[in-house]
């Protein structure tokens, strides 16, 4: 039980950092909530195990220095206690009724955005501050707040001082416009409106914030001087009289059943709103009642947030598209009528393989139920059989490759159906696309369209040909295959620069089964060069951490193939780096695990991570007893606290550079 509590804390702290500090969550809010609920349950059963640093005991997030000046909170910006059932809602209502005389409740929408407080002195906006750590300080985002259309710079009916709190968010329309522009510029698109809003509010350039068209709803008055309010809704009326946009959908209730009906009503409107909500908030209306019941160090006792289950919708399957990957695997993709889920429009979802299709019993024309996994990836949950059109039959992947027409066969003991064509252009294209991608050589600007055209025009037969494209510069410009002269030269320069990358990037892009980015790094740290890796036996390969027999055989078979050897020789001849600067055998950090946190004086986190790997060390996302060092800068936050509690050595950037022999002069 002790191990599970520690494990949950480590997992939750990792995801808190991804959500609040990196604006890049890896799991859904629902999955996070389930982890937190499990931890709360275990701590309730073992109260002696509760510690001050547990994520159940404090508000998530840290304040980021790079977004601007840090500002101290005058009033804590606490999170809310989450509930997930009618029973829990009723328990909250009954608890308030037991402590108070005839309490009133306000039920309102919970916007999925980024919390921000705004301060006004004599009616003039002076400061805008993010939640930060929720207790001590947040980030000053005043200049960005000024360009949000919903933020009032001046109040019509001023009082000496007022601080209000609300949620900065993006409408679905604004989010779609931002992502369309990102795609046009060839930049990474945002996963969902919440991530985009959070990243935008923290921009150093307020022009970008203005362009992205953020919105804001106010949901609380934090503090006042010169005027008092009796109820939450009275405060809303005052704010509305000043032109301040408050939460749109709210209802005053007196009984548990009224509260539940209001929650259900908001839930029914969820898919019809022009913005994302992830729940409904139930709070006491009377402000003195709030003072009476008080708050914990993490949450107010006078409010809860009911979290709706993951969103799902029905739509009609119009087609099943077949694509061929770099290994020849045929993947079916469902094409359906566009629906909106978690703030984005979706019209495609993978069907994985024939087994998945059979299990669903799915056919073209079926009505299907689609949901989002991780609030990013759309998935098909089920088929609504009662809506199946007459004559609909289960889809069957054909026994011929949809690209080259070669026989397609199912591999033994797998669910994969693969093209057997040795010169299938789709496999070639996918292999090259993978090779230049972010997880391999990461050649900026080398888009899929260019690769497909270059393969079809005969310039790319394999990945090694990428490094000979410079020999055809004039032809490429004349034919406009990559664009005009400027664009062509830009891509050719990026290709030349990629030759300098550590060989782990090259290895990750070769398409060896079971060898991705992390495994490639382990292999190159162990062997140090492609030459030594080529000469390794299966037994040698099995000595590498996390390399089992299946992976070892795949790697050995790849390098035993003469065609693959010639491919590497060709790339080596073109100057592609084949040897690491420091092998794990001689690396001064060999066997050491580091966690990098905070803002370092001269290095970015990526640069620090690269140096750790270069000198044979490993990096982790969270601090544990297995961590050897925490490399900490300013505003290191919870990871620094965890290191100090566990007795893990904490080092500065200067100490780290001294450790690897690169100390500043």
Q: Which residues are annotated as a binding site for NAD(+)?
A: 29-33, 79-80, 108, 131, 167, 283, 307
* CA dihedral of residues 448, 451, 453, 455 (deg, nearest 10): -140
State phi, psi for 256 to the nearest 5 degrees: -60, -40
Rounded Cα–Cα distance for residues 284 and 167 (Å): 19
Rounded Cα–Cα distance for residues 300 and 296 (Å): 6
Rg over CA atoms, the chain:
28
| Known catalytic membership, residue 156 | no
**Start-to-end C-alpha separation, the chain:** 50
Query: Out of 110, 418, 639, 642, which one is annotated catalytic?
Result: 110
Rounded Cα–Cα distance for residues 140 and 130 (Å): 7
> Cβ distance 659 to 589 under 8 Å?
yes
> Cβ distance 135 to 108 under 8 Å?
no
Rounded Cα–Cα distance for residues 142 and 201 (Å): 10
Looking at the DSSP bridge assignments, the partners of residue 115 are 167
DSSP H/E element including 358: helix 354-360
- Annotated binding residues for Zn(2+), written as ranges, equal 401, 404, 419, 424
* CA dihedral of residues 204, 209, 210, 214 (deg, nearest 10): -150
Looking at the DSSP bridge assignments, the partners of residue 277 are 111
Rounded Cα–Cα distance for residues 507 and 524 (Å): 8
State phi, psi for 549 to the nearest 5 degrees: -65, -40
Q: Is 201 helix (H, G, I), strand (E, B) or coil?
A: helix
> Cβ distance 149 to 243 under 8 Å?
no
With a CB cutoff of 8 Å and minimum separation 6, the contacts of 240 are: 246
> Cβ distance 608 to 631 under 8 Å?
yes
State phi, psi for 165 to the nearest 5 degrees: -125, 140
How many degrees, rounded to 5, is the angle at CA 467 between CA 461 and CA 473? 95
Per DSSP bridges, beta strands 330-341 and 312-324 are antiparallel
For 505-527, give one letter per residue: b (16+ CB within 10 A) or e: bbbbbbbbeebeeebbbbbbbbb
Give the closest residue to 320 by CA, choosing from 342, 348, 291, 359. 348
User: Can you spell out the DSSP letters for 383-425?
Assistant: E-GGGPPTT-------SB-TTT--BEEEPTTSS-EEE--TT-H
Tokens of 572: 């080596």
> Cβ distance 623 to 593 under 8 Å?
no
- Annotated binding residues, written as ranges, equal 29-33, 79-80, 108, 131, 167, 283, 307, 401, 404, 419, 424
Q: Which residues are catalytic?
A: 110
């Amino acid at each position: 039980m002790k191990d599970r509590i520690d494990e949950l804390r480590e997992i939750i702290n990792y995801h808190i950092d991804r959500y609040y500090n990196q604006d890049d969550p890896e799991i859904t809010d629902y999955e996070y909530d389930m982890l937190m609920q499990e931890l709360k349950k275990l701590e309730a059963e073992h109260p002696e195990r509760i510690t001050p640093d547990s994520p159940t005991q404090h508000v998530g997030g840290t304040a980021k220095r790079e977004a601007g000046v840090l500002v101290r909170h005058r009033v804590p910006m606490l999170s809310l206690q989450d509930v997930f059932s009618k029973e829990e809602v009723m328990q909250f209502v009954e608890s308030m009724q037991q402590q108070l005389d005839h309490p009133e409740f306000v039920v309102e929408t919970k916007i999925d955005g980024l919390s921000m407080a705004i301060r006004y002195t004599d009616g003039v906006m002076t400061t805008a501050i993010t939640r930060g750590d929720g207790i001590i300080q947040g980030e000053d985002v005043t200049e960005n707040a000024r360009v949000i259309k919903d933020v009032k710079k001046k109040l019509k009916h001023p009082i000496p001082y007022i601080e209000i709190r609300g949620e900065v968010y993006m409408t679905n329309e604004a989010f779609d416009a931002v992502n369309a522009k990102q795609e046009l510029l060839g930049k990474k698109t945002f996963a969902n409106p919440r991530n985009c809003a959070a990243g935008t509010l923290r921009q150093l350039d307020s022009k970008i914030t203005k362009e992205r068209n953020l919105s804001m709803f106010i949901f609380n008055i934090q503090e006042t001087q010169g005027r008092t309010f009796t109820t939450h809704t009275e405060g809303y009326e005052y704010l509305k009289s000043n032109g301040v946009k408050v939460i749109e959908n709210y209802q005053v209730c007196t009984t548990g059943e009224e509260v539940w009906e209001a929650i259900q009503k908001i839930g029914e409107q969820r898919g019809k709103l022009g913005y994302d909500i992830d729940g409904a908030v139930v709070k006491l209306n009377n402000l003195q009642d709030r003072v009476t019941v008080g708050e914990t160090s993490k949450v107010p006792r006078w409010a809860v947030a009911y979290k709706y289950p993951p969103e799902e919708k029905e739509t009609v399957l119009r087609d099943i598209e077949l694509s061929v990957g770099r290994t020849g695997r045929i993947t079916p993709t469902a094409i359906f009528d566009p629906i909106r889920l978690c703030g984005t429009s979706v019209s495609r979802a993978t069907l994985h393989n024939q087994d998945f299709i059979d299990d669903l019993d799915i056919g073209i024309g079926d009505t299907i139920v689609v949901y989002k996994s991780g609030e990013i990836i759309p998935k098909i949950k089920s088929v609504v059989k009662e809506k199946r059109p007459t004559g609909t039959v289960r889809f069957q992947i054909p026994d011929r490759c949809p690209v080259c027409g070669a026989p397609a066969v199912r591999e033994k003991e797998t669910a994969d159906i693969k093209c057997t064509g040795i010169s299938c252009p789709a496999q070639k294209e996918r292999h090259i696309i993978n090779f230049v991608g972010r997880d391999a050589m990461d050649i900026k600007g080398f888009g899929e369209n260019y690769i497909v055209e270059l393969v079809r025009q005969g310039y790319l037969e394999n990945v090694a040909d990428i490094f000979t494209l410079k020999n055809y510069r004039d032809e490429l410009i004349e034919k406009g295959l990559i664009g005009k002269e400027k664009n062509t030269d830009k891509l050719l320069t990026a290709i030349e620069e990629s030759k300098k990358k550590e060989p782990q990037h090259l290895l990750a892009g070769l398409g060896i089964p079971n060898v991705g980015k992390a495994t490639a790094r382990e292999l190159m740290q162990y062997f140090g060069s492609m030459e030594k890796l080529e000469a390794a036996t299966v037994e040698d390969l099995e000595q590498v951490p996390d390399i089992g027999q299946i992976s070892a055989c795949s790697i050995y078979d790849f390098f035993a193939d003469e065609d693959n050897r010639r491919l590497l020789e060709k790339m080596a001849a073109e100057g592609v780096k084949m040897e690491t600067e420091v092998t794990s055998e001689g690396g001064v950090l060999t066997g050491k695990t580091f966690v990098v946190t905070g803002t370092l004086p001269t290095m970015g986190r990526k640069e620090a991570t690269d140096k750790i790997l270069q000198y044979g060390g490993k990096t982790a996302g969270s601090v544990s007893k297995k961590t050897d060092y925490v490399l900490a800068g300013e505003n290191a936050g919870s990871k620094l606290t965890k290191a100090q509690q566990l007795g893990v050595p904490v080092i500065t950037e200067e100490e780290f550079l001294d450790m690897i022999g690169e100390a500043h002069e």
